Structure formats: structure tokens, C-alpha cells
Chains A and B, each alone.
Chain A
């Protein structure tokens, strides 16, 4: 069955970096766009980045542009989010999700918590 699992979250100081991973299984990974969504504690959902199946297309929210980089390794069925220059406002649960069609987020991981604090 389709599954996506995030990892790599943790406590990090402001200005430092962190790399999140998303491992996929149960589907032909390279056929699908993938995306990262985050949710600050007690808040709503925020789309932050998407990547096409062959990595030719990447998009970012303004809030992370220039600091975060999305990538994927289709051979390893994995997607990544390199987060640099982290700020307190980046504190959130980060979800990866499979994208069906344009932007129908049909399978989500359980999320990984990133806490940015000194």
C-alpha cells in the first residue's frame, strides 16, 4: 500500500540547518510530484514546496524561498528538504505528501517535528 514516512526533525538553534527526508513505498515514485506542507503548533496548514517527478520543476513558498531546497532521489524513492538559516517561525510539524494531478494531496506522512529554538 502507498506509504510516505518523514524523518530528520529535531531541535535546532536559529541560523542552523536541518535536512528532512521522506521515504516512499507502494507506488511508482518517479511518476508523481511530491510536496512538503508544514503546520506550526496550534495553527493551520501551509504549503511550502513541490517537486516534479524528474526534478525538472521545483516551486517554493515566499516564506522559505532562498533558504530551503527541495530535492529527490528516485532510485532511493526518497524526497528531501534542506532547510538552512532556520528561524523560530519555521517551528512546525513538516509533512510530506504525494501529489495526484495538479495538487491533490492524496497520501500524507505522519509528520516530523522541527523546533527552532536557542
Chain B
């Protein structure tokens, strides 16, 4: 199975901060990587697909980059409504696997 390692596992930031989360795959997954946001008690929501494509309706402060084994998710200016847990997911090969999540909190 392809292992997805996210870091950090938790992050505290202030409104307006630039936030960066990384995701490393245990093998080359080209660009087959998605990012999801999950708020407490809610279902995950797709934010970024194919490593860098913004899902329709998602604010442009969210972004993604990377290919191969190293990927980055960025929030350019943190807003209070962005407080959530973020997950990466690879789909280069079955089983599709997720990172362990990054819990984002307000400082």
C-alpha cells in the first residue's frame, strides 16, 4: 500500500496567516493527489484535485502544488471558517489511502 505522511499533525495559526501542510507519498504518485477539508461532525469536502486544481466553488485562498512524492497544500490567508482537519488522499493505486490528517486551530 502507498503510505501518505502528512505534516504537521496539528497546527496553530492566526487569522491572516499563510498556512502550509505537506504530504509525502511512499512512492511516485505523479499528480494523483486530492486534498479534503473536514469540519467537526461533518463530511469531508473536496478542495483540491489532481494536486493543484481548485474545485469549483472553493475560495482561491486555497491552493496545492507538487508531483511525484512531495505535495504542498496552502491557505494564503487563514480565515476563521478554515478551522478544520485537512487530509490528503492518493489515487495512483488501490487501496486509495489518506494522510493521517492535519488539525488546524486558531492561535
Smallest CB separation, A62 vs chain B (Å): 7
A33-53 vs B, CB cutoff 8 Å, 1 = contact: the mask equals 000010000001111000000
Q: Which residue of A lies closest to B100 (CB)?
A: A44
Main secondary structure of the interface of A (DSSP, over half): strand
State how many angstroms separate the Cβ of B20 from the closest Cβ of chain A. Answer: 20
Whether A47 contacts B46 by the Cβ 8 Å rule is no
The stretch of A24-32, A69-77, A101-109 that contacts the partner chain:
A101-109
Interface residues of B in 32-73 (CB under 8 A from A): 32, 34, 36, 38, 42-46, 49-50, 55
B42 (CB) vs chain A CBs: closest residue: A110
> In the complex, what's the smallest C-beta–C-beta distance from B89 to chain A, in angstroms?
7
Task: Collect the chain A residues with CB atoms within 8 Å of residue B87's CB.
Answer: 44-45
Residues 91-118 (chain A) with a chain B CB within 8 angstroms: 95, 100-106, 108-111
Distance of A59 Cα from B55 Cα, bound (Å): 26
A103-B45 in contact (CB<8A):
no
In whole Å, how far is A29's beta carbon from the nearest beta carbon of chain B?
19
Interface size on A, residues (CB 8 A): 20
Whether a CB of chain B sits under 8 angstroms from the CB of A11 is no
B46 touches A104 (CB 8 A): yes
Docked-complex contact A108 and B43, CB < 8 angstroms: yes
**A108 CB contacts on chain B under 8 angstroms:** 43-45
- Residue A105 contacts which of B32, B46, B95 (CB distance < 8 angstroms)? B46
Which A residues lie within 8 Å of B32 (CB)? 102-103
Question: Is A88 close to B, CB under 8 A?
Answer: no
- Nearest CB of A to B7, in Å: 14
Residues of chain A at the chain B interface (Cβ within 8 Å): 37, 44-47, 59, 61-62, 95, 100-106, 108-111
Q: Knowing that A104-B50, A105-B44, A105-B46 are A-B contacts, what are 12 other residue pairs whose CB atoms are under 8 Å apart, sorted by A's residue number? A: A45-B87, A47-B96, A47-B97, A101-B49, A102-B91, A103-B89, A103-B96, A104-B34, A104-B49, A106-B55, A108-B44, A111-B43
